[in-house]
Structure 1
Amino acid sequence: MGYQLKVDEKVISISNPDKYLWPNSVTKLDFIKYIYEIADYMLPYVKNRLLTTIRYPNGVDDDKSFYQKNVPAHAPEWITSKNWNGTNYILPNDKATLVWLANLAALEMHVSFNYWQSEDYPTELVFDLDPSVTDRFDQVLEIALYLNDNLLQIGLHSIAKTSGATGIQIYIPIKPIYKYEQTRKVAKFIAEYMENKYPKIITTERLVKQRGTKLYIDYLQHWRGKTLPAPYSVRARQQPTVSTPVTWEEVEKGFKPEDFTIFNTIERIEKLGNLFIFKDEHSLDQVLKFIK
């Protein structure tokens, strides 16, 4: 039996609250509660970005999951959207929208690198560290530290977050004055520099079968129309892992992606604060000048 939940003066009908989305551990109501509590920490980043969701109506073990970009026809009128390239994207602009999506079992929420108002200008430069061997997260941590050290040498401070799956994503806040074509030049330069410096363990090869055991530095995902999991988004893994911002001290000490789940994320934020806040926006002028 469903019931109604009032969020910021908006009434949301909750269906099948006792349905398990993760077997014997997380019900839909548990998931909605997590999204309600985490929304205030997600919104500073996700607001006004184009949203892609992955929905799992029958839970993570069901193979009938699907991507959703267009606003569903049954969406309430207060859902904000923006049409881009023929797709009417939801803008995750308030807590009520996030809770409404949670009720649709939108377990994963992925957002664009730019605000919808400025489709050509990302707010960050991002590297996605993707291991070729899934049980080598120690390698991911090691290379994340190498990348951070090299970024610091050129004056770029970064924020790390787990993908919630097998990798780590490195975000460099930048002034939103550079087009994707410019940020691509910088990202390509840095990724290939890392590949040349650490050729035995790092690759920029896209084909998995040609990577061997090397870690893939993905800089191509950072582009208009593409997305990565939002900070604090849950991932549809066997455990309800969360794409979690981490400190560089934690990366150095070591952890596993499974250490961060919906069961401890709120408590973690209450202890450490919201680690995914862009305080300094870097200029890329000097790097672009050097590349040229």
Structure 2
Amino acid sequence: MEHRLVHVDGKELKISNPDKRLFPQLSKWEFILAYYRLAPYLLPYCRNRALTTIRFPDGVEGKSFYQKNAPSHRPDWIETVNDGDIEYVMLNNAPTLVWLANLACVELHVSFNTVHEPMKPTELVFDLDPSVPGFPRVVEAALMIRELLLQLGLDGIVKTSGASGLQIYLPLEPRYTYDETRKVGKFIAHYFAKRQPALITVERSVNKRGDKIYFDYLQHWRNKTLIAPYSIRAVPEATVSTPLSWEELTPALSPKQFTCANIFDRLEQKGDLFAEALRKKVRLDEILQFIDRNRL
């Protein structure tokens, strides 16, 4: 069986079937190289977090499965963390990323908290998903939410999911509990569902949403995950979950336009637009006090 030996930061890895087609336009080797090049941008947002992957051993047009537990055949240098009955991989370095890519772990989903603060998330995330094809209404909803955030003295960082939606991050110091962040997420989601009922819904059932944008505040919780910034998505175009500037949110925007084929030119031109998430933190004290005061 064909394989290729590579050395990554002092670790030797055997890449199996490098010429195997994982995407219509990407071999497994090209996919691994893409993740290796994305490592400097992706790793800061995955480090010391529980990782869930979606594996596609026969390519993205084949069957897939979720993997939470670390494979038993892993190298001894792979870092893991136990949470209940699950032993999660921690994606803390480039060799681990290449090892995961060799297993055809296409999508990388990480927890909202680090292992150091298991009950306190480092961000509050608003996940916006269309119920029917089309992206302009997702953009419209995101811009409305940002306008409210600015009025509240807050601001978020936005990225594509890489699939069909947008995600707005409020970076936090790990000082708020999941109960507190859920309280804020629920308040803002229901606020828009009531004031923009033709555009935004909190209805979980897809069949009952019509053409509305689903504001998913329930996904933000302990032991739940979200697609990592700069993770590749398992779609034929090999899209990448890509941070954006707010000025890029126009009706012409599409998450399909950011792919493995062009993400590196974008990073060279614009840098890591998500890096601010590691530096600039917001405080939720005032909005929590408002919610409690008004019993919302």
TM-score (norm: length of structure 2): 0.96
Q: Is structure 2 residue 264 aligned with structure 1 residue 287?
A: no
In the TM superposition, residue 253 of structure 1 has moved relative to its aligned partner by: 6.1
Deviation at residue 252 of structure 1 after TM alignment = 3.1
Letter in 2 for 1:129: L
Of the three residues 120, 145, 148, the one matched with 1:147 is 145
State how far apart, in whole Å, the 2-side matches of 1:252 and 1:158 are: 17
Letter in 2 for 1:166: S
Over the residues paired in the alignment, what is the CA RMSD in angstroms? 0.9
- Alpha-carbon separation, structure 2, partners of 1:234 and 1:291: 37
Give the Cα–Cα distance (whole angstroms) in 1 for the partners of residues 28 and 166 of structure 2.
Answer: 27
- TM alignment of 1:114-125, pairs within 5 A: 114-125=113-124
Distance 2:206 2:145 in 1: 21
> 2:139·2:251 contact (CA, 8 Å) conserved in 1?
no
Query: Secondary structure of the equivalent of 1:217?
Result: strand
1:55 corresponds to which residue?
Answer: 55
| Structure 1 position 34 matched with structure 2 position 37 | no
Distance 1:197 1:168 in 2: 20
Matched to 1:105, the amino acid is A
Mapped partners of 1:238, 1:270: distance in 2:
24
Q: Deviations over 1:225-256 (max 9, x none)?
A: 00011001011112101111111000136311
Letter in 1 for 2:108: M
Establish whether residue 129 from structure 1 lines up as the match of residue 139 from structure 2: no
1:267 corresponds to: 265
Answer whether contact 1:164 1:242 (CA < 8 A) is retained: yes
Structure 2 alignment gaps of length 5 or more: none
Q: Answer yes or no: is the 8 Å Cα contact 1:128–1:167 preserved in 2.
A: yes
Match of 2:91 in 1: 92
Distance in 1 (CA, whole Å) between partners of 2:251 and 2:273 is 17
Q: Distance in 2 between matches of 1:242 and 1:41?
A: 12
Distance in 2 (CA, whole Å) between partners of 1:15 and 1:181 is: 44
- Partner in structure 1 of residue 107 of structure 2: 108
- Aligned-partner SS, 2:88: strand
Letter in 2 for 1:266: F
CA contact 1:125–1:187 (8 Å) conserved in 2: yes
Poorly superposed stretches of 4+, deviation over 6 Å: none
CA distance in 1, matches of 2:46, 2:274: 11
Deviations 1:165-217 (A, max 9, x none): 11001101112100000100010001111111211111111111111111110
Secondary structure, counterpart of 1:82 in structure 2: strand
C-alpha distance after superposition, 1:75-123 (max 9, x if no partner)? 0000000000210000000011001100000000000000011110000
Q: 1:203 is matched with which residue?
A: 201
Identity of aligned residues (%): 53
Amino acid at match of 2:151: Q
Equivalent positions of 1:6-21 (< 5 A) are 6-21=7-22
Query: Residue in 2 aligned with 1:44?
Result: 44
One-letter amino acid of the counterpart of residue 22, structure 1? F
Change (3 A) 1:163 1:240: same
Residue type at the aligned position of 1:39:
A
Deviations 1:45-104 (A, max 9, x none): 1100100000001101112x1111111011000000000021000000001100110000
Distance, in Å, in 2 between the alignment partners of 1:46 and 1:33 is: 18
Q: Which residue of 1 aligns with 2:71?
A: 72
CA distance in 2, matches of 1:3, 1:206: 46
Matched, 1:247 2:245: yes
Which TM-score applies when normalising by structure 1?
Answer: 0.97
